[in-house]
Structure 1
Amino acid sequence: MRLDINTVKGEKRLFVGGNLITISSVIINMVSVIIPTYNREHLIQESIYSVLNQTYKDLELIIVDDGSTDNTEDIVRAIPDPRIQYYKLPHSGRNAISKNFAIRRSTGTLIAFNDSDDTWVNTKLEKQVELLAQHPNIGFSITDATNYRTGQIISTRTYAVQQGIEYANIFNRMKENRFVVYNPTILMRRSCLDITGLFDETMPYGAEFHFNILLAFYFDAGIIYEPLLWRLIHGSNDSIQTPVENLEGFMNTFEYLYNNNMVSKKYLNKAKSHAYRQIGHLFKQAGNGNAAHHNYRQSLKYNLLQPICYWLLLKTYRPDQLSPAGN
C-alpha cells in the first residue's frame, strides 16, 4: 500500500492507497517530549540538551515550569531551538498538573517524559521509536537506567537482565513489587491515553507510579535492556516527607486497583505491608523511633509472616532507638 505525507498550508495530508486523509491536530511520527520542572536552574540545561541532541530529530520539547523562583526560565529561553515550547504555571507542587498541561498541548503520535534533573543517552528515542514501529501491538517502551549521585555511580543497571529486548505485559511483576518503571524511560503511543486517561491530579505524590501501572495493566511493553537514562539520585540528607508521601501514594494506587477489580485483596495487603515497612525504615533512619514502631506494627497488620519486621519492631523499644520527641 502506498503511503505519502505532504504538507499543504501547514496542514498534514496523508495519502493511503491514493485516498486523502487530512490530519490537522496530530503529527505523524513526531515525538512529544515533556519535561516538568521547578527551580532546576543548575540541572535543566543538561536535561534539555540530552533531548535536543537525540539521533531521532522529529520531536517537540514541551517544558512546563511549576512557578520556578530561580533562573530556570532565563536558561530555557536562551536555548535557540525552535522545537522548544516553554510554559510557566502558578506553583502547584504537582507534576501531574504540569504533565497533563503539556499533554494537552502536544501534537505527536508518540509521547515521552523526562525529568529536569535526568538525562538521556542520545540513541534512546531512535531505538524506542523503531521498536514501536516494528511492533504495532505494543503500547509503550521502557529502558534500563543508570542511577548516580554527583560524581558517583550508584548502580549501572536497574534490571537483572543485561541485554536484549523483551516484549511482555509487566503488570503482574509491578503489582508484586518485582519490577520498577521509571517514568523518564517511557515512550508511549498517544492512543494509550484513550484508555488510561491522564495523570491523576488529585495525588500530590505517587501520580507517576499510578499512571505507569495503569499503562502496564492495559498494554504490553517493549523493554530495552540497555541503560538509556541517567537518573540523578539526590542527597540522602533530604527531608523524608517526599519518600513517605510517595509510599502513601503507592498504597492509594493499590486501593484504586483493588476497588476496580484489577488486583485481589492479597496484593492490596502485600502493597500496604511493603509500604508501611519502608516508611518505618525511613523514620528509623531519621531517629524517630515511635513513628518507626507504629509503621512496623502497621506492616505486620497486613502481613504477619515477616520475621525481620518483628526484629525491627523490637529494636524500636530500645531507648537508644527513640527520638527525644518520642519519649
Structure 2
Amino acid sequence: MPKVTVLMPVYNGEFYLREAIDSILSQTFQDFEFLIINDGSTDSTREIICSYDDPRIRLIDNDYNLGLTQSLNKGLKLAEGEFIARQDADDISEPERLVKQVDFLETHPKVALVGTWYKQIDTQGNLICKCQLPCDCTQIRWNTLFYSPFIHSAVMFQKSSVLEQIGFYNKVAIHAEDYELWCRIALRLKIANLSDYLIQWRIHPSSVTATYENIQQDTTLWIQISNIEHLLGAEEVKRWSNGIHLKSIIALWLGELEELKDLNLQQLNQVIERIFHLHHAFCNYYKLDWEESKKHRNEVLIYLSTQLLELAYDGLEREEYNTLQLLNIAFRLNFSILLTKKTMLLFIKLIIGTRLFREIRQMTQYKFRLEQD
C-alpha cells in the first residue's frame, strides 16, 4: 500500500498535462500511486497519459464526463494511500513538494490537512508573482470565513481523518467544491500551510476560475455566508440588513475597495463593529484562551487598520471619503501602525496626493516656466 495517493482528475487537459505529470513523477519522494481520472476527455489527454511507462500511474477512464466534483469523490474512494495529495492537470509541483508535506503530516499527527505557498505562472510557465498564505491554524480558520486559504492543487490530507469525520466533496458547491470542503475540515480538525513555494499555479483562459467565474463567485458567497452563519446563527445574520453588511465585511477584509465605495463613514464603522463581533464569536467557537484571543485580535486590528489606509488612499483619489477621518479610524484601531514602513509609504502617497500638494506643485511648475521664458 503506497504512503501517498496523488489524485488528478483531468478533462481535455492536453495543453499542460505533460508538465503536470512530469512534475509528479520527478518527486524526490517515491512511495506514491499516481491516480489519474480521465473524465471523458475528447482530445489527446488519454494518449498522453498512456505514453508513460511508469507503474506508479493508475489510469481510470470515466465512460462520460462526470465533472470535477464527482471525479474527485470517485478518486477518493479508489485511493489506496494514507495521504491524499491533489494535483491539477495544468499546475506544476516542485520536486520537494511531497516529501515536505509527508514529513509535516507525520510529525504533526493532529493536523489533518496541509497546503503550501505557491507561485503564480502564465500560460508559458513564466513567473507572475509569489503568493503567501496564512500558515497558523487559527489564522487559516479565520480567513476561511472570507476566502479559500489553500490552493487546491497544493493540498495533502489524511484520508481516514477527512473521509471518516468530514466526508467527501459537496457536489452542490459548484466550482468551489474545494473551498467548501476546507471550511468543513477547518471547523473540526487542525489545518496548516507550509511556508515553502511548492506549487506553480497556472493562470490561463480555459481554467475553471476563468471559465466559470460568475458561478464560482455565487458559490463562494454562499459558502462565506454559511461560514458566518455557523458562528453567529442564521437569525442574527439575517438581522444584519439582509446580508448587506456581510458583503461589506467580506469586501473590507479582502480589500475589494470598489465594493465599499457606496458606504458612508457611519456604515463603515458599523462594518468594523460587525467584524469584531464576528471575531468574538470566532474565539468562543474555537475555545481560544485569553492569550490566543488577544494575540489574534491584535492581528485583526493591524490588518484592518492597513485595509483602512488603503481605502483612505483610494478614497482620496476618488474624492469620496474624508481622508483624515479614515486615518483617524485606522489609528484608533492600531496606533502603532504609524511606525510601520508600509504606513509611512502610504502616508507619503496620501500627502503627495492631496489637492494642496498638487496646487503647490502646479504653482512651482508655473513659476519655473516663467523663469525659463
Aligned pair 1:120/2:93, yes or no?
yes
Q: Radius of gyration: which is bigger?
A: 2
Please state how far the C-alpha of 1:244 moved relative to its aligned partner. 1.3
Q: Which of residues 172, 177, 196 in structure 1 aligns to 2:166? A: 196
Note closer, same or farther for the CA distance 1:136–1:76 as it changes in structure 2 (3 Å cut).
same
Note closer, same or farther for the CA distance 1:270–1:214 as it changes in structure 2 (3 Å cut).
farther
1:144-180, Cα deviation, whole Å (9 max, x unpaired): 0000102532112334x8xxxx552421122144x62
* Distance (Å, rounded) in 1 between the aligned partners of 2:58 and 2:245: 42
Residue aligning to 1:172: 142
The DSSP-based 3-state class of the residue aligned with 2:95 is coil
Please say if residues 183 and 212 of structure 1, whose CA atoms lie closer than 8 Å, have aligned partners that are also in contact.
no
* Distance (Å, rounded) in 2 between the aligned partners of 1:236 and 1:181: 21
* Equivalence map 1:169-248=2 (5 Å): 169=138, 170-177=140-147, 180-190=149-159, 191-235=161-205, 242-248=212-218
Residue aligning to 2:43: 70
Please say if residues 55 and 126 of structure 1, whose CA atoms lie closer than 8 Å, have aligned partners that are also in contact.
yes
Please state how far the C-alpha of 1:62 moved relative to its aligned partner. 0.9
Note closer, same or farther for the CA distance 1:198–1:189 as it changes in structure 2 (3 Å cut).
same
Note closer, same or farther for the CA distance 1:258–1:237 as it changes in structure 2 (3 Å cut).
closer
Residue aligning to 1:24: none
Please say if residues 132 and 195 of structure 2, whose CA atoms lie closer than 8 Å, have aligned partners that are also in contact.
no
Please say if residues 37 and 66 of structure 1, whose CA atoms lie closer than 8 Å, have aligned partners that are also in contact.
yes
Please say if residues 167 and 220 of structure 1, whose CA atoms lie closer than 8 Å, have aligned partners that are also in contact.
no
1:24-61, Cα deviation, whole Å (9 max, x unpaired): xxx3x610111011111121111011111111111011
Please say if residues 35 and 58 of structure 2, whose CA atoms lie closer than 8 Å, have aligned partners that are also in contact.
yes
The DSSP-based 3-state class of the residue aligned with 1:204 is coil
Please say if residues 115 and 150 of structure 2, whose CA atoms lie closer than 8 Å, have aligned partners that are also in contact.
yes
Note closer, same or farther for the CA distance 1:240–1:223 as it changes in structure 2 (3 Å cut).
closer
The DSSP-based 3-state class of the residue aligned with 2:83 is strand
Note closer, same or farther for the CA distance 1:168–1:37 as it changes in structure 2 (3 Å cut).
same
Aligned pair 1:130/2:103, yes or no?
yes
Q: Which of residues 109, 113, 119 in structure 1 aligns to 2:82? A: 109
Residue aligning to 2:73: 100
The DSSP-based 3-state class of the residue aligned with 2:55 is coil
Residue aligning to 2:340: none
The DSSP-based 3-state class of the residue aligned with 1:82 is coil
* Equivalence map 1:12-51=2 (5 Å): 27=1, 30-51=3-24
Note closer, same or farther for the CA distance 1:73–1:244 as it changes in structure 2 (3 Å cut).
same
Residue aligning to 2:130: 156
The DSSP-based 3-state class of the residue aligned with 2:199 is strand
1:84-112, Cα deviation, whole Å (9 max, x unpaired): 111222113x3111110101001111011
| Uncovered stretches (5+) of structure 1, i.e. residues with no partner | 1-26, 282-291, 315-327
TM-score normalised according to structure 1 size? 0.69
Note closer, same or farther for the CA distance 1:40–1:259 as it changes in structure 2 (3 Å cut).
same
Q: Which has the higher strand share?
A: 1
Please state how far the C-alpha of 1:274 moved relative to its aligned partner. 7.1
| Uncovered stretches (5+) of structure 2, i.e. residues with no partner | 272-310, 321-373
Please say if residues 131 and 222 of structure 1, whose CA atoms lie closer than 8 Å, have aligned partners that are also in contact.
no
Please state how far the C-alpha of 1:221 moved relative to its aligned partner. 2.2
Note closer, same or farther for the CA distance 1:136–1:234 as it changes in structure 2 (3 Å cut).
same
Please say if residues 199 and 208 of structure 1, whose CA atoms lie closer than 8 Å, have aligned partners that are also in contact.
yes
Residue aligning to 2:331: none
* Distance (Å, rounded) in 1 between the aligned partners of 2:112 and 2:58: 26
Residue aligning to 1:4: none
Please say if residues 35 and 62 of structure 1, whose CA atoms lie closer than 8 Å, have aligned partners that are also in contact.
yes
* Distance (Å, rounded) in 1 between the aligned partners of 2:208 and 2:58: 31
* Distance (Å, rounded) in 1 between the aligned partners of 2:214 and 2:169: 20
Residue aligning to 2:368: none
Please state how far the C-alpha of 1:241 moved relative to its aligned partner. 5.4
What do you get for the CA RMSD once the two structures are aligned? 3.5
Aligned pair 1:60/2:36, yes or no?
no
Please say if residues 250 and 275 of structure 1, whose CA atoms lie closer than 8 Å, have aligned partners that are also in contact.
no
Residue aligning to 2:349: none
The DSSP-based 3-state class of the residue aligned with 1:108 is coil
Please say if residues 247 and 275 of structure 1, whose CA atoms lie closer than 8 Å, have aligned partners that are also in contact.
no
Note closer, same or farther for the CA distance 1:240–1:128 as it changes in structure 2 (3 Å cut).
closer
Note closer, same or farther for the CA distance 1:106–1:207 as it changes in structure 2 (3 Å cut).
same
